[in-house]
């Protein structure tokens, strides 16, 4: 099982690294050929993809849970078919409504300028139809994931990302605008949908159903009862990123949406990598019924995540500005500040409690609703209270405060439900803080007299690797038992880890 989890995680990381490279190439090209204003327009219209939250009854995560627990049997087949039926019942009419009220949504909600309406409308229609196929295809993907074949869905996502960014880049280079970009994104989603349906039948096989009419209501109630809690959490989360963009568009301007989106893109890339690493845990935790075992797994993974956090946190602080200066160009201080603020807040407040959040999705989904409400309400309030005084910087302050609040609530519920926190003792917390201080000053001193951005980006990772090995070893952050648990005994990697990280 350990090998399967690692393969699924590594395949996700590879997929996202390639996708990130495509993103990094395409965004500067977009700004170069079409300008920051049209990029801001593209960003705000892309919010339409989040409208799927309104039709996501939490059924896909629910499907992973039940199919993982049940295996291949008649009830699982019923779950799959009924999920498709329930999804279609909500997906089709809402898609039609969103298309019908396109003018109201574009002009009155997304605040699209009148002179861009015609071109924005074409992109809007393409994205809505594209999201239809993407959302419906997620049901097939959930079944594949429940069989621990996540490597397959990662490969399909990689193919989709190649097409998504590739068609966009091709449209930009050939002198086209948002309308042609929209058609390229629509084609990408249709091809992805066809592929995932084909692979679903190859992996799962033919769906044979017994007593469909008799069990329809029972299965529907089971799915809706559990899925609604996840749905409510997702529905609340909709009001985070999209609402923030709408607030910026209305109170600050469309150009500022573009600046915010660039900072958020980098956060999303990092979040996606982390999500892919932890995602295989979701079907794994769903199968486990032993509460004590669940508590130990969540607690231990969170603790080790916090131990490894300092070098990543430090790299964001020191690498963001040089990287963005090379990527976007000079005079991008606002974006650099935003990236540092957003990424650091995310790593401390969200990244470290992902295992607990996955536990909640499979065992206590109603708690995720509370966490999302806290995040959204605090973010919106902080922005509305500070934007007059801080302007663009109010976005990042609101983000950081919201993350801090949701992190505090996560710890509260973790202690209440699992009777555990991240650290076993105050000494572990002091060691982690000391690790961060050592990393920070090590990077500060190593780059103090260096002004070339590229050289900084080369020196900082080398410095952090050297500092991290010494710090982990001499602060004794890991034990021999940790190596056995996560790597396995009698392997070359295990023996190497003992020599490097474990101090006798």
**Residue 174 falls inside a structural domain:** yes
**Residue 289 falls inside a structural domain:** no
Per-residue pLDDT for 447 more than 90? no
Q: Would you place residue 379 in the very low, low, confident or very high pLDDT band (cuts 50, 70, 90)?
A: confident
pLDDT at res. 331: 58
pLDDT at res. 490: 67
- Stretch among 228-232, 285-289, 359-363 having the lowest mean pLDDT: 228-232
Quote the CA–CA distance of 27 and 172 in Å, as a whole number: 10
65-74 long-range contacts, CB within 8 A, separation 24+: 65/226, 65/283, 65/286, 65/361, 65/362, 66/222, 66/223, 67/142, 67/143, 67/146, 67/147, 68/146, 68/283, 68/286, 68/287, 69/286, 69/287, 72/204, 72/205, 74/208, 74/209, 74/210, 74/211
Higher pLDDT, 120 or 4: 120
pLDDT tens-digit series, residues 42-82? 877 877 765 555 566 667 777 777 777 777 788 788 888 88
pLDDT at res. 187: 93
pLDDT at res. 7: 57
H helix intervals, 331-479: 333-349, 354-363, 365-390, 393-418, 426-446, 453-474
What's the average model confidence in pLDDT over 131-135? 88
Per-residue pLDDT for 252 more than 80? no
- Stretch among 116-130, 151-165, 320-334, 393-407 having the lowest mean pLDDT: 320-334
pLDDT tens-digit series, residues 183-199? 888 999 999 999 999 99
CB 365, CB 342: distance < 8 Å: no
Q: Would you place residue 503 in the very low, low, confident or very high pLDDT band (cuts 50, 70, 90)?
A: low
| Domain assignment of residue 167, given as a range | 1-241
pLDDT tens-digit series, residues 401-439? 888 888 888 889 888 888 888 888 888 889 888 989 999
**Residue 478 falls inside a structural domain:** no
Radius of gyration of the chain (CA): 23
Per-residue pLDDT for 1 more than 60? no
pLDDT tens-digit series, residues 472-483? 888 888 777 777
Per-residue pLDDT for 125 more than 60? yes
What is the total count of domains within the chain?
Answer: 1
**Residue 246 falls inside a structural domain:** no
The two structure tokens encoding residue 496: 């190497």
**Residue 48 falls inside a structural domain:** yes
What's the average model confidence in pLDDT over 145-154? 79
pLDDT at res. 191: 94
pLDDT at res. 470: 87
In this structure, the number of other CB atoms found within 10 A of the CB of residue 331 comes to 8
Q: What is the model's pTM?
A: 0.65
Higher pLDDT, 492 or 128: 128
Higher pLDDT, 203 or 290: 203
What's the average model confidence in pLDDT over 458-464? 88
CA distances from 497 to 28, 310, 472 (A): 40, 19, 11
Per-residue pLDDT for 6 more than 60? no
pLDDT at res. 131: 87
In this structure, the number of other CB atoms found within 10 A of the CB of residue 496 comes to 12
**Residue 438 falls inside a structural domain:** no
Mean pLDDT of the chain: 80
What's the average model confidence in pLDDT over 330-345? 78
What percent of the chain has pLDDT above 70?
Answer: 86
Higher pLDDT, 365 or 422: 422
pLDDT at res. 192: 93
């Amino acid at each position: 099982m350990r090998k399967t989890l690692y393969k699924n995680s590594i395949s996700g990381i590879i997929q996202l690294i390639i996708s990130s490279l495509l993103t990094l190439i395409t965004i500067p090209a977009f700004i170069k050929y079409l300008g920051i204003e049209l990029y801001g327009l593209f960003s705000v219209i892309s919010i339409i993809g989040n409208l799927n939250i309104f039709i996501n009854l939490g059924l896909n995560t629910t499907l992973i849970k039940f199919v993982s627990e049940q295996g291949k049997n008649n009830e699982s087949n019923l779950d799959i078919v009924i999920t498709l039926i329930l999804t279609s019942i909500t997906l089709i009419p809402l898609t039609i409504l969103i298309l019908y009220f396109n003018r109201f949504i574009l002009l009155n909600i997304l605040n699209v300028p009148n002179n861009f309406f015609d071109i924005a409308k074409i992109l809007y229609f393409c994205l809505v139809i594209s999201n239809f196929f993407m959302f419906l295809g997620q049901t097939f993907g959930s079944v594949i994931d429940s069989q621990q074949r996540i490597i397959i869905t990662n490969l399909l996502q990689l193919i989709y990302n190649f097409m998504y960014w590739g068609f966009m880049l091709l449209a930009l280079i050939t002198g086209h605008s948002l309308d042609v970009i929209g058609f390229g994104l629509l084609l990408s989603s249709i091809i992805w949908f066809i592929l995932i349906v084909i692979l679903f039948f190859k992996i799962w096989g033919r769906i044979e159903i017994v007593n469909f009419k008799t069990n329809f209501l029972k299965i529907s109630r089971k799915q809706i009862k559990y899925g609604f809690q996840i749905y409510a959490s997702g529905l609340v989360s909709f009001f985070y990123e999209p609402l923030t963009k709408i607030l910026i568009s209305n109170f600050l301007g469309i150009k500022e949406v573009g600046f915010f989106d660039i900072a958020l893109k980098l956060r999303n890339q990092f979040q996606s990598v982390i999500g892919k690493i932890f995602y295989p845990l979701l079907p794994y935790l769903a199968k486990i019924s032993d509460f004590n075992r669940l508590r130990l797994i969540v607690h231990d993974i969170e603790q080790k995540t916090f131990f490894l956090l300092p070098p990543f946190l430090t790299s964001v602080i020191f690498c963001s500005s040089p990287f963005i200066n090379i990527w976007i160009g000079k005079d991008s201080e606002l974006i650099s500040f935003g990236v540092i603020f957003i990424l650091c807040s995310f790593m401390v407040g969200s990244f470290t409690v992902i295992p607990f959040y996955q536990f909640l999705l499979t065992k206590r989904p109603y708690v995720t609703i509370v966490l999302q409400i806290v995040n959204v309400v605090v973010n919106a309030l902080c922005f509305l209270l500070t934007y007059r005084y801080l302007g663009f910087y109010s976005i990042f302050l609101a983000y950081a405060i919201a993350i801090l609040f949701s992190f505090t609530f996560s710890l509260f519920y973790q202690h209440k439900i699992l009777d555990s926190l991240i650290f076993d003792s105050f000494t572990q917390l002091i060691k982690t803080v000391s690790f961060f201080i050592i990393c920070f000053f090590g990077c500060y001193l190593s780059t103090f007299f260096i002004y070339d951005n590229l050289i900084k980006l080369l020196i900082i990772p080398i410095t952090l690797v050297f500092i991290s090995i010494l710090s982990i070893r001499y602060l004794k952050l890991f034990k021999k038992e940790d190596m056995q648990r996560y790597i396995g005994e009698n392997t070359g990697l295990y023996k190497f880890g003992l020599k490097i990280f474990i101090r006798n």
